[in-house]
Structure 1
């Protein structure tokens, strides 16, 4: 049995033997896995009443440490989404009782986003299940291969400037 990317590469090599299609073997597979995993993760989070963007907000605030709040500006830098997207997402999450928005005492123009007790309970309950779900997505590979894959993908991300915000 061969995967669909290998089949596409085989078709291309018959049609255009003058081109080496090796990049499709990596990029095509990563893109297909990304789409599959996006759906798997979206479905998993939906079972817990969350959208992926909401989970991202909850996890970003939770890993920031107590008091589990960030200024909107800091949050934007760590999440890489637009101001409008964050505003809409935070509005919906506020309505669900997951976060609050407060004015910064030191700078009234700045807003802070903070986990509510309910938001903290939700992320602390769902996070271990989410990690187990992600482990399930990788269970076809032995641990040492997953470790090497993580190192390899990290090097690729770093080559594109995707490094931790300082």
Structure 2
């Protein structure tokens, strides 16, 4: 199958093969989700490469970025970090431990509720995430440079619709 531009990718072959091998179901959803999966893998590689010069992992960037987006004092509760990063509370706790060990973040107990922990990016963490974000945006812009601005906006709108469906379902 080719699109209107005559471009063909690996997923076209996958969808065609399933359609040939299993005529009893429609493999078309694969044309969306297999592409998203493959893009996720490419994006992960691109991000790891962008962050490697800073010696951080993608998850460290993700955690620091969530804190940085809050503005000063660059602080969130551990519970809010769970929501921001879509990982379990146990995973967030482990990640906070590692970020504290690396000097990227600090823990602050809540004054009113001992069960609540606030995580705050250190100056080192803020500096690191700002530099990594600049490199990431440059890499992402290079990947999008062949796509017209209107097409980028349309793709973002379509992905927003799909993501909203997943997020509504939890």
TM-score by structure 2 length?
Answer: 0.85
Structure 1 contact 37–137 (Cα < 8 Å) conserved: no
The CA RMSD over aligned residues, in Å, is: 2.0
The answer for the alignment partner of 1:100 in structure 2 is: 106
2:50 corresponds in structure 1 to: 44
Is 1:123 aligned with 2:129?
yes
Alpha-carbon distance, 1:7 to partner: 1.8
Alpha-carbon distance in structure 2 between the residues aligned to 1:10 and 1:77? 38
- Aligned equivalent of 2:116: 110
On the 8 A contact 1:13/1:21 being kept in 2, the answer is: yes
For the 8 Å contact 2:105–2:125, the answer to whether it is kept is yes
The Cα shift of 1:160 comes to 2.2
Partner of 1:157: 163
Greater alpha carbon shift after TM alignment, 127-136 vs 111-120 = 127-136
Equivalent residues of 2:50, 2:135 under 8 A apart: no
Aligned partner (choices 69, 77, 81) of residue 87 of structure 2:
81
Q: CA offset at residue 19 of structure 1?
A: 4.2
**Runs of at least 5 residues in structure 1 that lack an aligned partner in the other structure:** none
Of 56, 63, 66 in structure 1, the residue corresponding to residue 69 of structure 2 is: 63
The Cα shift of 1:18 comes to 5.3
Instruction: Go from structure 1 to structure 2 and tell me whether the alpha carbon gap of 1:46 and 1:162 turns closer, same or farther (over 3 Å shift).
Output: farther
TM value normalised by structure 1:
0.87
Displacement of 1:114: 0.4
Equivalents in 1 of 2:114, 2:18: separation in Å?
Answer: 59
CA drift of 1:8 comes to 2.1
Give the corresponding residue for 2:9: 3
**Cα deviations by residue, 1:69-116 (Å, 9 ceiling, x for unpaired):** 112222223222112111111111111111011212222332110011
- Where does structure 2 lack aligned partners over 5 or more consecutive residues? 1-6
1:141 aligns to 2:154 (yes or no): no
